[in-house]
Amino acid sequence: IALLIIILSMFYLGLIGILINRLHFLSILLCLELLLISLFIGIAIWNINTLAFQNTTLNLLLLTISACEASLGLSLMVALSRTHSSDLVANLNLLQY
């Protein structure tokens, strides 16, 4: 039960980080990664505890989506820093250009 508390605290830390710390785009991406990693660990431990190894495709799918999200987020951050010369979310105004 202690492991469940740790995983839930990781998930809620990611949520709180997204809700409170919305100043930089990189911090938002890191909080999203924390959310996905906590879900990945939770599903992996659930599969091990229930001996349901046929559900590992869900875990691999989540890991693939996490990698795609990370690469897309980093490419968006590079494009944002090149066009606006910072990663501040407050400077992001799509109607300006």
Residue 90 falls inside a structural domain: no
**For 49-91, what is each residue's pLDDT tens digit?**
888 777 778 888 888 988 898 899 889 888 888 887 877 877 7
- Domain hosting residue 18, numbered range: 2-84
53 falls within a domain:
yes
Q: What is the reported pTM? A: 0.81
Whether 96 maps to a domain, the answer reads: no
**Looking at the domain assignment, is residue 22 inside a domain?**
yes
How deeply is 35 buried, as exposed, middle or buried, from its count of CB atoms within 10 A (0-12, 13-18, 19+)? buried
Identify whether 79 is part of a domain.
yes
Which bin fits 24, alpha (ψ -120 to 50), beta or left (φ > 0)?
Answer: beta
Do residues 41 and 7 lie in contact, with contact meaning Cβ atoms separated by under 8 Å? Answer: yes
Give the CATH number for residue 68: 1.10.287.3510
Query: What phi and psi values does residue 88 have, to the nearest 5 degrees?
Result: -75, 130
- Does the residue 38 lie in any domain? yes
Residue 95 lies in a domain: no
Into how many domains does the chain fold?
1
74, β-bridge pairs: none
Please state, in angstroms and rounded to a whole number, the distance separating the CA atoms of residues 6 and 69: 24
Residue 89 is assigned to a structural domain of this protein? no
Q: pLDDT for 6-29, tens place per residue?
A: 999 999 999 999 999 888 888 888
